Amino acid sequence: MKLETRVGLFVLVGLIILFVGIIWKSNLIMRAQGVLVIGSFKTVSGLLGGGEVRYRGYVVGAVYQVVPGPRNVLVYMYIHDGIRIPKGSKVRIDFDGLIGEKFVNVIPKMNEKENIVPGTVLEGYAASGLVDFIDAGTENLLETKEILSVLRKILTSDQSQNSLQGLIVNMNRISEKLDSVMTKVDTIFTQKSAKNMGQNIDSIFINLNQTVKHLNSLIQGLDTSVKGQDVKEIVSNLKVTTQRLSSLSESLSKDKDKLLGDVAPLIKDTREVMGNAKSLLLNTDVGVGANVYNNNAYDIGGKIQVGGNDIALDVGSQAGSVQTKELTYGRKILKDVNASVGLVNFQPGIKIEHPLVDQVSLEHSIYNPSNLTYLLKMNIKLIPNIKALLGFETNATAHDWSWGLGINSSN
């Protein structure tokens, strides 16, 4: 074969490879056979032309062109013909790994029977990337630093320390006084003391009976030996009086057991009331805390726990203003499970809290009856009084992830 022929064949093969590469990179076949879909984004987070389009994790097309505008960014995509995408679906810009290639993910709208047609514009948004997390984390750390600084000033002030010390001293005094009173009550109303009290009452009744008998004997002697109408009247009156005393003595003697029986429950109830008051003071726990999140939101509040019941109040930021975020009443329904009802995340709802593993607990919240929303929050204890927060919120129209840091303290 001549040299010219070899050179020609080599050039021809190179041109064919170049032509195929151009067609492949420009997605000409896809444009000829695919369906055009347009995504409208506020930001594309670095998405480039030629990026993949995935539907339920499967590659179904490619990005043809990215056209930025003053209000939004339009992304033109070509999807394989035959792929059915429901109307009202959304598109999201995701990325593989932390710094992987970005792609367009089609999120279908469930329970929709009609499909999109060529040229349909779908609403889109971009998932948070590594840089977004770093920026949000930096802002949250700065806000956390400010909150810690304020809390440090409050907790280290002389007035706060004196108030806390006074509260602890007063609670110790109350506990000591309750212990002293309970000890005296136990000493007075023990079984032995009650028995002695019964014996004393018996002795009093016996002496009273003997006194009445002596009076009867004395009156009879006066009646037989003393003359005169006045004296007889006096004696007669004394007889009536002694008879009444005798009747009263017999009545008291018969009712002594009933009297002791009526006093015993009163003594028992008094001991129970004083014991409950002591237990109430010892089982009361007061906690305060503050949380900051990656979307620049925050909340501050506290919780009072008395036995198995609690009341929680939190205020937080919403739409640029500070509002009541949580106001709930809760109680333990199982050993480690607490259920609350009231205002949850600015809306009426319920919340269930329980531990998952050591140092990790979960909160399940259902709220907002007009657009029923479920929030799963994970609390991870990092160091004493510091915890990490990870949340996932979902409803019929949107899904959202959040994370943050929290600080808490309790007595």
Q: Of the residues 127, 145, 178, which one is the last residue of a structural domain?
A: 127
> Cα separation of 343 and 350, whole Å?
8
Query: Which CATH number belongs to the domain containing residue 385 in this structure?
Result: 2.40.128.20
Task: Kindly state whether residue 341 falls inside one of the protein's structural domains.
Answer: yes
Report the range of poorest mean pLDDT among 23-32, 107-116, 125-134, 321-330.
23-32
Together in a domain, 272 and 319: no
Neighbours of 102 (CB within 10 A): 20
The predicted model gives 390-402 an average pLDDT of: 82
More confident call, 216 vs 387 = 387
Together in a domain, 219 and 245: yes
Q: What is the pLDDT of residues 267-309, one digit of tens each?
A: 566 566 556 655 555 566 777 788 887 777 778 888 887 767 8
Q: What is the pLDDT of residues 122-134, one digit of tens each?
A: 999 987 666 666 6
- What 3-state class would DSSP assign to 56? coil
Q: Do 289 and 409 form a contact (C-beta atoms < 8 A)? A: yes
Task: Kindly state whether residue 360 falls inside one of the protein's structural domains.
Answer: yes
Q: Of the residues 282, 315, 341, which one is the last residue of a structural domain?
A: 282
> Cα separation of 91 and 79, whole Å?
13
E strand or H helix that includes residue 126? strand 120-126
Query: Can you say whether residue 374 is alpha, beta or left, with left for phi > 0 and alpha for psi between -120 and 50 degrees?
Result: beta
Together in a domain, 8 and 40: no
Q: Would you place residue 40 in the very low, low, confident or very high pLDDT band (cuts 50, 70, 90)?
A: very high
Together in a domain, 218 and 319: no
> Cα separation of 318 and 136, whole Å?
17
> Cα separation of 246 and 237, whole Å?
14
Q: What is the pLDDT of residues 311-355, one digit of tens each?
A: 888 888 776 677 888 888 888 888 888 899 888 888 899 999 989
pLDDT at 113: 86
> Cα separation of 381 and 63, whole Å?
43
Chain-centroid distance, C-alpha 371:
21
Q: Would you place residue 57 in the very low, low, confident or very high pLDDT band (cuts 50, 70, 90)?
A: confident
Together in a domain, 272 and 327: no
The predicted model gives 185-196 an average pLDDT of: 55
For residue 391, what are the β-bridge partners? Answer: 377, 402
| Residue 177 phi, psi dihedral angles, 5° rounding | -65, -40
**Does 82 have pLDDT greater than 90?**
no
More confident call, 336 vs 165 = 336
Together in a domain, 197 and 265: yes
Which residue range forms the structural domain that includes residue 11? 1-26
> Cα separation of 342 and 367, whole Å?
9
Whole-number percent of the chain with pLDDT over 70: 64
**Does 193 have pLDDT greater than 80?**
no
Q: Of the residues 93, 127, 161, which one is the last residue of a structural domain?
A: 127
For residue 310, what are the β-bridge partners? Answer: 305, 330
Together in a domain, 266 and 217: yes
Together in a domain, 82 and 66: yes
Task: Kindly state whether residue 272 falls inside one of the protein's structural domains.
Answer: yes
Together in a domain, 314 and 401: yes
Count CA atoms closer than 13 A to 355's CA, side-chain side.
Answer: 7
More confident call, 295 vs 23 = 295
Task: Kindly state whether residue 298 falls inside one of the protein's structural domains.
Answer: yes
Report the range of poorest mean pLDDT among 20-24, 59-63, 68-72, 115-119.
20-24
**Does 88 have pLDDT greater than 80?**
yes
**Does 387 have pLDDT greater than 90?**
no
Task: Return mean pLDDT, the chain.
Answer: 76
Long-range contacts of 380-386 (CB under 8 A, 24+ apart): 385/409
- Nearest Cα to 329, choosing from 320, 337, 339? 339
Whole-number percent of the chain with pLDDT over 90: 11
Task: Kindly state whether residue 137 falls inside one of the protein's structural domains.
Answer: no
Kindly give the interhelix angle for 158-188 and 229-282, rounded to the nearest 10 degrees. 140
- What 3-state class would DSSP assign to 123? strand
Q: Would you place residue 91 in the very low, low, confident or very high pLDDT band (cuts 50, 70, 90)?
A: very high
Task: Kindly state whether residue 300 falls inside one of the protein's structural domains.
Answer: yes
Q: Would you place residue 241 in the very low, low, confident or very high pLDDT band (cuts 50, 70, 90)?
A: low
Cα end-to-end span (Å), the chain: 95
The predicted model gives 181-210 an average pLDDT of: 59
Q: Would you place residue 28 in the very low, low, confident or very high pLDDT band (cuts 50, 70, 90)?
A: low
pLDDT at 51: 87
Task: Kindly state whether residue 180 falls inside one of the protein's structural domains.
Answer: no
Task: Kindly state whether residue 182 falls inside one of the protein's structural domains.
Answer: no
Task: Return the exposure string of 296-321: e unless at least 16 CB atoms fall within 10 Å of the residue's CB, then b.
Answer: eebbbbbbebeeeebebbbebbeeee
The Cα-based distances of 409 to 155, 190, 277, 290, 403 in angstroms read 11, 43, 25, 9, 20
pLDDT at 23: 63
Together in a domain, 291 and 273: no
More confident call, 322 vs 197 = 322
- pTM of the entire predicted model: 0.37
**Does 183 have pLDDT greater than 60?**
yes
Q: What is the DSSP letter of 38?
A: E
The Cα-based distances of 73 to 35, 100, 191, 353 in angstroms read 20, 21, 87, 42
